[in-house]
């Protein structure tokens, strides 16, 4: 999230939750010499984080799924998941997961709910003049 509004290969996409990124707030990510985020200083630019209809609880432990690039290998400098308990690793590569989802969940047909190239409103960028 630290590179927004610029493009970022490590940008996290979500399902089952939503949040806003206020780009008028400068990223508070403090990175080490390798580009790994080691701290957050100042005002948070990610706001209104919700899991389902409930505000995210910083004291709660959530189960998540994602690509090992981010979750296990700190892709894009993401270190938020360091030390997290891995329940299952090497399930399938992300492209295979997408193929399985298309075949088994969507029956091979992408419906209109996926038509908007800007997504379904789970991630909202605010504070931009664009």
* DSSP one-letter code for 50: E
Counting the structural domains of the chain, the total is: 1
CA distance 16 to 56: 11
In this structure, is residue 93 part of a structural domain?
yes
In this structure, is residue 39 part of a structural domain?
yes
CA distance 48 to 123: 10
Domain with 36 in it: 17-126
In this structure, is residue 38 part of a structural domain?
yes
Nearest C-alpha neighbor of 12 from the set 86, 76, 85, 97: 76
Question: One digit per residue, pLDDT tens: the chain, 130 residues?
Answer: 677 777 766 677 888 999 999 999 998 989 999 989 899 999 999 999 999 999 999 899 999 888 788 888 888 888 888 888 888 887 778 788 889 989 999 998 888 888 887 788 888 889 975 5
- pTM, whole model, 2 decimals? 0.74
pLDDT at 9: 62
CA distance 43 to 26: 8
* DSSP one-letter code for 40: E
In this structure, is residue 2 part of a structural domain?
no
């Amino acid at each position: 999230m630290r590179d927004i509004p610029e493009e970022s290969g490590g940008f996290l996409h979500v399902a089952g939750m939503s949040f806003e990124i206020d780009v008028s707030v400068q990223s508070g990510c403090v990175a080490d010499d390798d580009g790994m985020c080691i701290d957050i200083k100042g005002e948070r630019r990610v706001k209104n984080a919700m899991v389902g209809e409930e505000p995210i609880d910083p004291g709660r432990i959530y189960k998540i799924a994602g690509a090992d690039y981010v979750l296990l290998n700190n892709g894009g400098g993401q270190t938020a998941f360091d030390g997290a308990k891995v329940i299952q690793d090497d399930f399938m590569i992300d492209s295979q997961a997408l193929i399985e989802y298309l075949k088994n969940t969507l029956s091979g047909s992408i419906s209109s709910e996926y038509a908007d190239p800007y997504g379904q409103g789970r991630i909202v960028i605010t504070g931009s003049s664009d």
